Amino acid sequence: MAIHDDGLPEAWGLNTNSQATIPVTVTNALMMAGGSDFSLALVPNVAAFTAPTPVPTREQSTIRVSRISAGDESAVATVDGTIIVWGNDTNNQLAAPAVTNIVAVASGNRFHVALDDAGVVSAWGDGISAVPAGLPAMRALAA
């Protein structure tokens, strides 16, 4: 997936679940994320979702989303510095910790991680509930 200079998103590759089909209404994309069977695009103040991941309710989709990340069968976003997650919860990937001031999120196979503005990392899902003891403040993360 990529975003053109004019903000138009583009996706290619396996498309068995329409994960590479960009809705024509998605323009001016700010960020994109790809999961195993779905893709996400962040457009100004609204997140757009493609099949087959369940779309958040209308109230959720009109809130201000600033970060997105897609995992195997679930996704995570930040809204005003807090975490929202949706999708499959077979490995507790929807059990996000109650943390605030989140500045970055990332997703792995069946887990998610988040970074707050003080550099503290949180992790959840697929047996991951803690980060290494004594981990110093971080400035970026990946999964």
pTM to 2 decimal places: 0.78
Specify which of 26-35, 55-64, 103-112 reaches the highest per-range mean pLDDT: 103-112
The Cβ-side half-sphere exposure at 14, using a 13 Å CA radius, reads 8
9-37 pLDDT per residue, tens: 888 888 887 788 887 777 888 888 888 88
61: three-class secondary structure by DSSP = helix
Token pair 């024509």: residue: 24
**pLDDT at residue 61 is higher than 60:** no
